[in-house]
């Protein structure tokens, strides 16, 4: 190696150390308090009167995913019985029961228009189904294939664009009509398990088995922020309703809140007697409540600001694998390995 090169590399390394120190200094200066301390004066939330209002029975095997429709009434669920079921959550009627080509499904999504649903899993593909065909039957519209690992999560931006995350450590943006990938998001060093799109649709956040959460600019494909703190796989991410923060759930038995503008972890939600992993997280419409599904069959309800646990929703006989809050904030739905979904309000 030439001595010139050696010198340049050494200088670059020194610059890196200098920058890291300066970043640490800057961040420390802004760390003037904590969200928990700032929230101390708020009234603690006492009576969380959330109970089971509907039980959706019909799946024959473990439910792995669910997603509410924008109309707040319908939701789609995916089970390893090889079916996607679209439910009317008010009446519990099954509106569609869609047989899948691959039963190893891990995720599902409802398009905002209600025209399409999507799912994917160990087949490494994202399959799009058209619910509103002219003939009246549900059909496969597209099979989006490019990931080299399992599909862990998919979320529609609109009828034309869908985001996916994968065990191949990447996320992709697809043009549904053309059936092709239009952007690839690479930076994670572990399986990407979950993603959530910001309310303004400019960004999305991903959580991965590398214990980090990353925020991406959808148009440029760049990773704009990385958040560390979790000590194990992040299984779930969800934007806080204002789009400036997001919640995470991890195998390290904690949920955390990260703020984009402060660029740091704001709160941690954990308890000494909680030892199992979190599978799913969602916020109530004001963001004050954070619902988290756990491997120990329960759903814990956290006060996002004060970090108190304000409720334990016990209703399932096996792991809570997924959950979501409807867009009007009136209901929360949990899905479980016990083959049922429960709607709480």
Partner 1 sequence: MNSHAHSPTTTEARLQRQLDHNRKLREQFERNRISVSQASILLIQYCQTKRDMLIPTVWGDLDVKDDPFEAKTAGCGCSVM
- Rule CB under 8 A: is residue 3 a binding residue for partner 1? no
CB atoms within 10 A of CB 36: 15
- Rule CB under 8 A: is residue 181 a binding residue for partner 1? no
- Rule CB under 8 A: is residue 28 a binding residue for partner 1? no
Give the list of residues 6+ apart from residue 342 with CB closer than 8 angstroms, or none. Answer: 52, 54, 55, 56, 315, 316, 333, 334, 336
Instruction: Assign 311 to helix, strand or coil.
Output: strand
How far is it, in rounded angstroms, from Cα 9 to Cα 1? 11
**CA distances from residue 95 to 74, 113, 135 in whole angstroms, order as listed:** 9, 16, 16
- Rule CB under 8 A: is residue 276 a binding residue for partner 1? no
- Rule CB under 8 A: is residue 330 a binding residue for partner 1? yes
**CA distances from residue 13 to 20, 22, 26 in whole angstroms, order as listed:** 11, 14, 20
Give the distance, in angstroms, between the CA of residue 321 and the centroid of all CA atoms in the same chain: 12
- Rule CB under 8 A: is residue 23 a binding residue for partner 1? yes
- Rule CB under 8 A: is residue 12 a binding residue for partner 1? yes
- Rule CB under 8 A: is residue 313 a binding residue for partner 1? no
- Rule CB under 8 A: is residue 293 a binding residue for partner 1? no
Beta bridge pairs of residue 185: 171
Q: Which stretch binds partner 1 (CB under 8 A): 62-70, 120-128, 198-206, 325-333?
A: 325-333
How far is it, in rounded angstroms, from Cα 336 to Cα 326? 17
Q: Which stretch binds partner 1 (CB under 8 A): 93-101, 129-137, 159-167, 263-271?
A: 263-271
- Between β-strands 63-68 and 74-79, what pairing exists: parallel, antiparallel or unpaired? antiparallel
**CB of 64: closest distance to partner 1 in angstroms?**
25
Enter the DSSP assignment of 296: T
Q: Which stretch binds partner 1 (CB under 8 A): 7-15, 108-116, 148-156, 209-217?
A: 7-15
> 66 vs 332, which CB is nearer to partner 1?
332
Enter the DSSP assignment of 46: -
- Rule CB under 8 A: is residue 268 a binding residue for partner 1? no
Which of 3, 33, 134, 136 binds partner 1 (CB under 8 A)? It is 33
- Rule CB under 8 A: is residue 43 a binding residue for partner 1? yes
Instruction: Assign 273 to helix, strand or coil.
Output: coil
| Residue numbers at the binding site for partner 1 (CB under 8 A) | 1-2, 5, 8-9, 12-13, 15-16, 19-20, 22-23, 26-27, 30-35, 38-39, 42-43, 45-50, 53-54, 72-73, 90, 240-242, 244-245, 259, 261-264, 266, 284-289, 304-305, 329-332, 343, 345
């Amino acid at each position: 190696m030439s001595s010139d090169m050696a010198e340049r590399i050494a200088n670059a390394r020194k610059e890196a150390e200098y920058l890291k120190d300066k970043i640490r200094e800057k961040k420390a200066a802004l760390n003037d308090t904590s969200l928990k301390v700032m929230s101390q004066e708020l009234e603690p939330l006492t009576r969380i009167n959330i109970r089971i209002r509907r039980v959706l029975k019909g799946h024959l095997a473990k439910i792995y995913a669910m997603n509410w429709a924008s109309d707040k009434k319908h939701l789609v669920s995916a089970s390893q019985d090889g079916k996607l079921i679209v439910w009317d959550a008010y009446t519990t009627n099954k509106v569609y029961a869609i047989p899948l080509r691959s039963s190893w499904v891990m995720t599902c999504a409802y398009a905002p228009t209600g025209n399409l649903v999507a799912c994917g899993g160990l087949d490494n593909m994202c399959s799009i189904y058209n619910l509103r065909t002219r003939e009246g039957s549900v059909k496969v519209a597209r099979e989006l294939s490019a990931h080299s690992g399992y599909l862990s999560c998919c979320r529609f931006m609109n009828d034309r664009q869908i985001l996916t995350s994968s065990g191949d450590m990447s996320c992709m943006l697809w043009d549904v009509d053309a059936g092709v990938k239009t952007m690839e998001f690479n930076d994670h060093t572990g399986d990407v398990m979950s993603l959530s799109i910001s309310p303004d649709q400019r960004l999305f956040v991903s959580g991965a088995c590398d214990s980090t959460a990353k925020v991406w600019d959808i148009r440029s494909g760049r990773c704009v922020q990385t958040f560390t703190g979790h000590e194990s796989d992040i299984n779930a991410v969800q934007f806080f309703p204002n789009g400036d923060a997001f919640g995470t759930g991890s195998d390290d038995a904690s949920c955390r809140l990260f703020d984009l503008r402060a660029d740091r972890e704001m709160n941690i939600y954990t308890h000494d007697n909680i030892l199992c992993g979190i599978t799913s997280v969602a916020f109530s419409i004001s963001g004050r409540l954070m619902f988290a599904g756990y491997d120990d069959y329960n759903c814990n309800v956290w006060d996002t600001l004060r970090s108190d646990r304000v409720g334990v929703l016990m209703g399932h006989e096996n792991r809570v694998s997924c959950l979501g809050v409807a867009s009007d904030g009136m209901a929360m739905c949990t899905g479980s390995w016990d083959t049922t979904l429960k709607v709480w309000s």
